[in-house]
């Protein structure tokens, strides 16, 4: 068989069901021959975003796989791979490459020298008989250690060359390291002797499928739980010990408890400093668990460190805490304090969350979304900018992967492809992305991909006819030339691209409109709700 057919056969052996692609690569037909469905997007970035969402919802057990053509395909895909890398998402990229005789010509874009900074491993399949070994290494790296994109570039001449069809390929196992027992013991001792500890939870708990263990550990030690933006939904936000999530914005409970904490216990997180991360105030004792040793002592000095898979580490922590405690301990006082702080915070924001004003306050949309859908059967994600900052604190996620948070890179339009991939990974769920009109302008044509490929997502668009908040970056241009303002009738766009569209201008119509749109998705059609909103300048800050 040809080398490209061997790649397709290996993907089939690995259980790959879909190939996210655009538009010319011999792998597309090779995969179709073995029953792998090609999902053709309108742009390279969106198809990468779809692979990203697929991997996230699958805990990395079912991996998003994508291919693009050589040259311009790899060039256009760069932003999508960069986003996946920044948010630690394992996807397999298989771009085409120029023939080996053409390597080194400056006008030919080559993936290997250009993608090194945004992949865990990037290499060229330079001989057909190397396909099995290189694919095995790719899947091994995708399944083990720090999650990140992996890329194998396949030159056009290598793809068409023959390989022995009796090649040996065995899928590599996922390796899950446990924490060092001495580190576990010392970390638990520090936690139990702290006066006001807090658990700081990242998406590593989601990837490890560690929510049950996290709940047990938090209840056992009686410690409140906050999540990062990427970790949101790892701990049910209706739990008495839940503080909610925090990133660029956050809940009042995080602000209160992180501020007063004397010990911060990071679980399954990178503890990165970025504009989209809540900073950890000085003077805290810091315990840090990550599967990646490169995270430890990166941006914050760790007093205690545990390297290991979050689920396994949590099981170890539970056993050690039981040993040191001789049982559990009461959390009544901290639960009562969380309840009081939450009630005070929500009371402060309730005028906006229940506002009757028109244009509609975006906080009212988020608040009503909580009431309109079955959150145990929904996946919600935001887009970049104000929709992220308004949704993160106030949408209450109650099941693992019921929310996809992201933001170490903040590309507009990312949420649309992300939610399409998520819907394909969990077709039984209602998949919702919240975006602004500016974000729709970046990726909106791929709403047609959702219609054509029958991926029935629900897009809730905040249309304030502006780049919200950007006047502070361009005050003169905004005043003189109205540069921040946008126009468009997006219902017509949605309908023209094969989906359902509805405009919402009255706050009383929000919940009925969401429920009507959900029925359209249940019938197999993507839906867009264009909600006419006001510009909102107040945000709930997490620290």
Q: Classify residue 427 by burial, with Cβ atoms within 10 Å: 0-12, 13-18, 19+.
A: exposed
CA distances from 159 to 42, 61, 68, 99, 136 (A): 24, 27, 14, 9, 17
pLDDT confidence of residue 323: 96
- Are the CB atoms for 409 and 87 separated by under 8 Å? yes
DSSP 241-289: TEEEEESSSB-HHHHHHHHH-SEEEEES------TTSPPPPTT-EEEEE
Give residue 165's pLDDT: 85
Which pLDDT score, from 0 to 100, does residue 104 have? 74
Q: Three-state SS string across 167-189, please? A: CCCCCCCCCCCCCCHHHHHHHHH
Confidence at 166, pLDDT banded by 50, 70, 90: confident
Q: Do domains 181-338 and 354-532 have the same CATH topology?
A: yes
Region label for 35, one of left (φ > 0), alpha (ψ between -120 and 50) or beta (otherwise) = left
- 396: confidence class by pLDDT, cuts 50, 70, 90: very high
The pLDDT confidence band at residue 470, using thresholds 50, 70 and 90, is: confident
State the greatest distance between any 2 C-alpha atoms of the chain, in Å, as a whole number.
Answer: 71
What mean pLDDT, rounded, does the chain reach?
Answer: 95
Q: pLDDT of 199-227, one tens digit each?
A: 999 999 999 999 999 999 999 999 999 99
Q: How far apart are CA 210 and CA 222, in angstroms?
A: 18
Residue that wins the pLDDT comparison between 131 and 101: 131
Q: Which CATH superfamily is domain 354-532 in?
A: Thiamin diphosphate (ThDP)-binding fold, Pyr/PP domains (3.40.50.970)
Q: What span, in angstroms and rounded, lies between the C-alpha atoms of 298 and 362? A: 37
Write the DSSP symbol of residue 43. Answer: S
Reported confidence tier of residue 418, pLDDT bands at 50, 70, 90: very high
Range with the poorest average pLDDT among 74-78, 348-352, 467-471, 538-542:
467-471
d(CA 77, CA 150): 13
State percent of the chain over pLDDT 90.
90
pLDDT at residue 330 in the model: 87
Domain ranges of the chain: 3-160, 181-338, 354-532
Phi, psi at residue 202, to the nearest 5°? -110, -175
Query: How far is C-alpha 508 from the chain's CA centre?
Result: 31
What class is the 181-338 domain?
alpha beta
For residues 444 and 416, is the Cβ–Cβ distance under 8 A? yes
What is the structure's pLDDT at 107?
Answer: 74
DSSP 8-state class, residue 361: P
**What digits encode the pLDDT tens for the residues 102-150?**
777 777 888 999 999 999 999 999 999 999 999 999 999 999 999 999 9
Q: Is the model's pLDDT at 174 over the cut of 80?
A: yes
More confident residue, 350 or 410: 350
Q: What is the pLDDT of residues 513-527, one digit of tens each?
A: 999 999 999 999 999
Q: Which CATH architecture has domain 3-160?
A: 3-Layer(aba) Sandwich (3.40)
> What pLDDT score does 543 carry?
79
- For the segment 47-87, what is each residue's pLDDT rounded down to a tens digit? 999 999 999 998 778 999 999 999 999 999 999 999 999 99
């Amino acid at each position: 068989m040809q080398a490209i057919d061997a790649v397709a056969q290996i993907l089939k052996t690995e259980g790959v069901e879909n190939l996210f692609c655009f538009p010319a690569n011999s792998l597309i037909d090779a995969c179709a021959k073995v029953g792998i469905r090609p999902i053709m997007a309108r742009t390279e970035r969106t198809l990468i975003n779809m692979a990203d969402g697929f991997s996230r919802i699958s805990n990395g057990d079912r991996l998003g796989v994508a291919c693009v053509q050589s040259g311009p395909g790899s060039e256009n895909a760069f932003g999508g791979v960069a986003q996946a890398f920044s948010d630690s998402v394992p996807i397999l990229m298989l771009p085409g490459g120029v023939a080996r005789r053409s390597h080194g010509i400056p006008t030919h874009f080559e993936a290997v020298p250009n993608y090194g900074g945004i992949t865990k491993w990037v290499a060229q399949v330079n001989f057909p008989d190397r396909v099995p070994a290189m694919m095995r290494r790719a899947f091994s790296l995708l399944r083990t250690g720090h999650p990140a994109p992996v890329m194998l570039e396949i030159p056009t001449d290598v793809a068409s060359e023959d390989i022995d069809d009796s090649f040996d390929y065995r899928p590599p196992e996922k390796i899950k390291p446990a924490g060092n027992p001495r580190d576990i013991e010392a970390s638990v001792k520090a936690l139990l002797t702290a006066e006001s500890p807090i658990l700081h939870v990242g998406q590593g708990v989601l990837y490890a499928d560690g929510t049950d263990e996290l709940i047990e550990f938090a209840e056992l030690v009686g410690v409140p739980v906050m999540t990062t933006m990427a970790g949101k939904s790892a701990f049910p936000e209706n739990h008495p010990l839940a503080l909610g999530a925090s990133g660029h914005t956050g809940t009042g409970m995080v602000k209160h408890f992180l501020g007063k904490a004397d010990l911060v216990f990071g679980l399954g997180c990178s503890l990165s400093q970025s504009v989209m991360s809540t900073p950890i105030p000085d003077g805290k004792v810091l315990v840090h668990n990550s599967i990646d040793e490169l995270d430890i002592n990166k941006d914050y000095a760790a007093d205690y460190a545990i390297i290991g898979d979050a689920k396994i580490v949590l099981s170890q922590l539970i056993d050690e805490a039981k040993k040191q405690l001789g049982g559990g301990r009461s959390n009544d006082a901290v639960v009562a304090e969380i309840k009081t702080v939450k009630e005070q915070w929500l009371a402060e924001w309730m005028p906006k969350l229940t506002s009757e004003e028109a244009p509609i306050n975006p906080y009212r949309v988020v608040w009503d979304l909580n009431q309109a859908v079955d959150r145990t059967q929904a996946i919600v994600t935001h887009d970049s900018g104000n929709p992220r900052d308004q949704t993160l604190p106030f949408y209450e996620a109650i099941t693992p992967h019921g929310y996809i948070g992201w933001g170490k890179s903040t590309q507009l339009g990312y949420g649309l492809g992300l939610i399409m991939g998520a819907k394909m990974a969990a077709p039984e769920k209602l998949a919702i992305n919240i975006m602004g009109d500016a974000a729709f302008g970046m990726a909106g044509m791929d709403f047609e991909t959702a219609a054509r490929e029958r991926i029935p997502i629900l897009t809730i668009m905040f249309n304030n006819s502006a780049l919200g908040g950007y006047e502070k970056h361009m005050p003169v241009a905004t005043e003189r030339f109205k540069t921040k303002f946008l126009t468009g009738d997006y219902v017509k766009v949605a309908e023209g691209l094969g989906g359902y569209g509805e405009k919402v201008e009255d706050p009383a119509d929000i919940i009925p409109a969401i429920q009507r749109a959900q029925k359209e998705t249940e019938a197999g059609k993507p839906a867009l709700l264009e909600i006419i909103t006001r510009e909102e300048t107040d945000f709930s800050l997490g620290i």
